[in-house]
A and B are shown apart, each in its own frame.
Chain A
């Protein structure tokens, strides 16, 4: 967990450093980086691709004993943004899906390890309201987006041992998230404009998100009260 927890923010910082242009280029584009790059290209959707460590809070010691901790959770989210207050905020609906898998050693009934593997796979699916504050970059020219999300989480889980499935189910729950994102347009305004002209992508951003899920109910608790992820997003 600790290595992952340190590694991804560092990787994020590295990517940010790599995409940063020279000073002259930044100054060239400083005057207009936060303006709508193409008045004809409206922003209706957002796509986020993210990865981060995830450990389901199963409420038992067996998870750590068998699987040894966290694993990476890969996820994607697609937002539709039908409502907006121009240059202030947007309100939309997002649907997301992810995947993570955990593997460990199965024991014999007497507790001795066998050579058979036991695994747990989870597929979190969620639908959330997404409120994104765009006033900082649009009005104050600070390339920071703040986003809040809340909605329903449905996590499909499946556990198997050897070649046999041990159990499966869907754990529902509440999901929330808070996100801070750095708009990349600031670093390469011309490239951002070209991206809009050619692909209709208005803005791209790197983000860091903290989220939680109470997925469980009467099924296996596979939510986590607090987790984080980082990734790349696009508005188009």
Chain B
């Protein structure tokens, strides 16, 4: 009793709002730059071999150009929305699949639950990148394939999150009341149990986007993800890798952009987590 009273005095009212604000500004700024580049600046795929490997601040190229004369700044700016939209798509798909499977497993229990938990183990045991690599041998490279590939290993944490919540919530009073009132199983599941998980799912999803962005850039860096004409930051870093000693800017700038993007989405995620006072252990 007393310790509860003591803790009351420690929490501040607007937990996480500083992170939220910083993250939102950063992300908003990046999106605006990217949209500006998409609408008003020339296609970065345009090659100009006579302008290859120009250093920053030369010939009207703020971030310089790569070996094929492509403008690094425009490429970076456009890459922001590519990364973000892949991140969003993967998060949406895997959240949807994960919630459905997790809710089903948690509510019915029994074999479905056991199968899910073993899948969780499996997902932790085999690094996602290894699956991506193996899958890239047999799947063709398109935005759709990359998204499905990333989503196919990303849904498991959502399912685990929902399952854990459902297991707790289904024993609570209001679920029993709904059951007594004659609400059917599906009605209870989607009318009561899934909404109860909404907050942790949103928080996890906001932290997950950064991870997806990093994964996509890794795949593209290895030449197993996106390739031109799709504008991917990871692809540009892979181009810069070969020129590292002679043209450092090609690999450096797209990496900085990725860091900014991930930091921005993570800030929003951290802010949301603090705002809703979720235990960080639940999120890891």
Do these two chains interact? no
